[in-house]
């Protein structure tokens, strides 16, 4: 039986009258890459924010490795997260930004140099983040996510704003991480890209789960885009 | 210790924080250096002759003017996290928010103290140099130095803490800074001048009270006889620090991080 890395149990997140996540129940298996798909505003980012403790669920729960994120000891060494390309102080260099995070997690500064090399930012590590391109910020965010060498990665739209070369780089980077046996939960609009990258798929629409399974089970011989359009009623944005 | 180290790095890496230290020092030095010239030419009009101990004390008392920057430093440390989105990385690394804010409060207190020690210390030296050019200048009161040191220390720590609390409550950094400046520059002095019974319980009145000055200059809207005793003022100011620290921690626990 496959171990469960991430589990949503009747997760609800309500903002005033709007229900962003609606009784979401789903599981993400260990050691696999899972695509988390849905139209714009479907509740993907809100779900991921509830998962990592930045938003409090209105009802239900979201657990990683059997526990709420906030209850994980030194979570950066268990779970790496990229939520958006913001999150870095623009006046600090890329290296300084990572050293701030490393210090909080008790991670050595030499590891900062290692991850900067892994995302090919060594030469730009002394530049202020405000001078980084969007692609460089995305790579810096990925460097931050792997700083603690975690077994689980949660990536929210990591390909957003990347040019084709950046997307190709990201694909190889994720594949290399997956080969190490990591669990990766990645949300994306790049459906063709997802088809070539993910093992499993979770699709949500209007906050509710509408499909879950291996990519073969969900697509049933069609492309992921065709299956997605059919399941979401053609609301592909 | 990890969180303190991380917060310390945030403090020293950001150039804006060094800018605040420089600004606090310049403002304090300017306030101290200009005052003897004003008192020398117009002190009699205010009932403060430069020969008097009260006048010399009032010169050195301006050395604590940098406390306004301690509150801005605290605001930048907290509201800056929301402005730049670094709060996400901070709370992902340390999801126990109470611990994060507690460490941020500690760093803000340390930073406020350091800012006040440096700006006050340099302005006291500048004041001594400025006063030495006036032959008629008297001597300061015996306890001025120690009182100023205590006021700078407690004032810097508490205002740094209040800044973090404001940054937690008002996440818009600019609004938090502008609101605090309006309060400290306009509302606090007005209350001190017009309603001294209320103003003496507020930060500016409390910090000034810790200096134990004995100055009565109604033309300047300044009469220290209505202020709290120094020890009581220190306790009330520390009380402000405790209340604002509790407010910062409880607020940060409840709200979602965007």
Q: Which pLDDT belongs to residue A236?
A: 47
Alpha-carbon distance of B123 to B26, in angstroms, equals 8
Alpha-carbon distance of A231 to B40, in angstroms, equals 84
| Token pair for B64 | 């604590």
Residue A24 or residue B207, greater confidence: A24
A89 with B14: Cβ contact below 8 A: yes
Q: Which pLDDT belongs to residue B219?
A: 63
**Number of domain units in chain B:** 1
Average pLDDT for A4-12: 94
Q: Which pLDDT belongs to residue B48?
A: 73
Contacts of B84 in chain A (CB under 8 A): 86-90
- Residue A147: band (very low, low, confident or very high) from pLDDT cuts 50, 70, 90: very high
Average pLDDT for A28-38: 91
Q: Which pLDDT belongs to residue A161?
A: 72
Identify the burial level of B237 via C-beta atoms within 10 angstroms of its C-beta, where 0-12 means exposed, 13-18 middle and 19 or more buried: buried
Predicted complex ipTM: 0.88
Contacts of B257 in chain A (CB under 8 A): 49, 54-55
From B99, which residue of chain A is nearest by alpha-carbon distance?
A104
pLDDT at A116 over 60: yes
Average pLDDT for A98-123: 94
Which residues lie across from A155 on neighbouring strands?
A82, A186
Q: Which pLDDT belongs to residue A237?
A: 43
Contacts of A104 in chain B (CB under 8 A): 2-3, 5-6, 90, 93-94
Average pLDDT for A39-49: 90
Which portions of chain B are predicted below pLDDT 70? 43-46, 217-222, 253
B88 with A83: Cβ contact below 8 A: yes
Of B2, B14, B88, the CB nearest to A91: B14
Q: Which pLDDT belongs to residue B247?
A: 87
B92 with A54: Cβ contact below 8 A: yes
Q: Which pLDDT belongs to residue B221?
A: 62
Domain housing B172 = 2-254
A104 with B2: Cβ contact below 8 A: yes
Q: What is the pLDDT of residues B178-201, one digit of tens each?
A: 999 999 888 888 887 788 788 889
Which residues lie across from A7 on neighbouring strands?
A27, A63
Chain B nearest-CA distance from A198, in A, is: 25
Alpha-carbon distance of A220 to A223, in angstroms, equals 8
Q: What is the pLDDT of residues A72-89, one digit of tens each?
A: 989 999 999 998 756 899
Q: Which residues of B touch A (CB under 8 A)?
A: 2-3, 5-6, 9-10, 13-16, 80, 84-86, 88-96, 256-257
Q: What is the pLDDT of residues A50-67, one digit of tens each?
A: 999 999 999 999 999 999
Q: Which pLDDT belongs to residue B114?
A: 97
Share the mean pLDDT of chain A. 89
Which of B79, B74, B151 shows the shortest CA–CA distance to B116?
A: B151
Pairing of strands A200-205, A59-64: unpaired
Contacts of B80 in chain A (CB under 8 A): 89
Contacts of A54 in chain B (CB under 8 A): 88, 91-92, 256-257
Q: Which pLDDT belongs to residue A228?
A: 84
Q: What is the pLDDT of residues A174-227, one digit of tens each?
A: 888 888 789 999 998 778 878 888 899 999 988 999 999 999 998 888 888 888
């Amino acid at each position: 039986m496959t171990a469960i890395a991430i589990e949503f149990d009747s997760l609800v997140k309500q903002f005033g009258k709007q229900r962003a996540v609606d009784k979401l129940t789903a599981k993400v298996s260990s050691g696999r890459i899972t695509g988390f798909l849905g139209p714009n505003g479907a509740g993907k980012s809100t779900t991921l924010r509830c998962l990592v403790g930045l938003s409090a669920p209105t009802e239900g729960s979201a657990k990683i490795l059997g526990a709420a994120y906030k209850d994980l000891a030194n979570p950066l060494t268990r779970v790496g997260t990229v939520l958006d390309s913001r999150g870095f102080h623009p006046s600090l260099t890329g290296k300084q930004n990572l050293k701030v995070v490393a210090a909080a997690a008790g991670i050595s500064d030499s590891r900062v140099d290692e991850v900067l090399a892994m995302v090919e930012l060594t030469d730009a590590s002394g530049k202020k983040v405000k001078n980084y391109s969007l692609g460089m910020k995305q790579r810096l965010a990925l460097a931050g996510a792997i700083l603690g060498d975690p077994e689980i990665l949660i990536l929210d739209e990591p390909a957003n704003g990347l040019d084709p070369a950046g997307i190709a780089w990201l694909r190889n980077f994720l594949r290399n991480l997956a080969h190490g046996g990591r669990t990766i939960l990645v949300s994306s609009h790049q459906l063709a890209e997802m088809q070539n990258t993910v093992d499993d798929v979770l699709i949500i629409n209007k906050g509710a789960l509408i499909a879950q399974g291996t990519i073969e089970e969900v697509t049933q011989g069609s492309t992921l885009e065709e299956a997605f359009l059919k399941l979401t009623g053609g609301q592909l944005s | 210790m990890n969180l303190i180290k991380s917060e310390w790095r945030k403090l020293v890496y950001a150039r804006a924080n060094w800018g605040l230290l420089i600004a606090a020092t310049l403002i304090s030095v300017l306030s101290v250096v200009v005052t003897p010239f004003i008192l020398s030419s117009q002190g009699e009009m205010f009932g403060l002759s430069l020969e008097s101990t009260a006048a010399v004390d009032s010169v050195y008392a301006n050395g604590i003017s940098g406390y306004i920057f301690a509150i801005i430093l605290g605001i930048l440390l907290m509201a800056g996290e929301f402005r730049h989105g670094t709060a996400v990385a901070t709370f992902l690394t340390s999801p126990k928010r109470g611990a994060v804010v507690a460490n941020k409060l500690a760093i803000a207190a340390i930073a406020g103290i350091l800012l006040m020690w440096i700006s006050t210390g340099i302005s006291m030296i500048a004041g001594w140099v400025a006063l030495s050019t006036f032959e008629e200048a008297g001597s300061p009161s015996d306890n001025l130095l120690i009182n100023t040191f205590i006021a700078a220390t407690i004032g810097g720590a508490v205002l740094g803490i209040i800044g973090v609390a404001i940054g937690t409550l008002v996440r818009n950094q600019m609004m938090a800074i502008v609101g605090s400046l309006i309060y400290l520059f306009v509302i606090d002095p007005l209350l001190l001048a017009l309603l001294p019974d209320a103003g003496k319980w507020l930060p500016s009145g409390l910090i000034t009270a810790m200096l134990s000055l004995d100055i009565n200059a109604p033309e300047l809207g300044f009469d220290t006889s209505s202020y709290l005793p120094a020890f009581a003022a220190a306790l009330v100011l520390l009380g402000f620090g405790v209340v604002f620290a509790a407010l910062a921690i409880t607020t940060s626990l409840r709200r979602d991080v965007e």
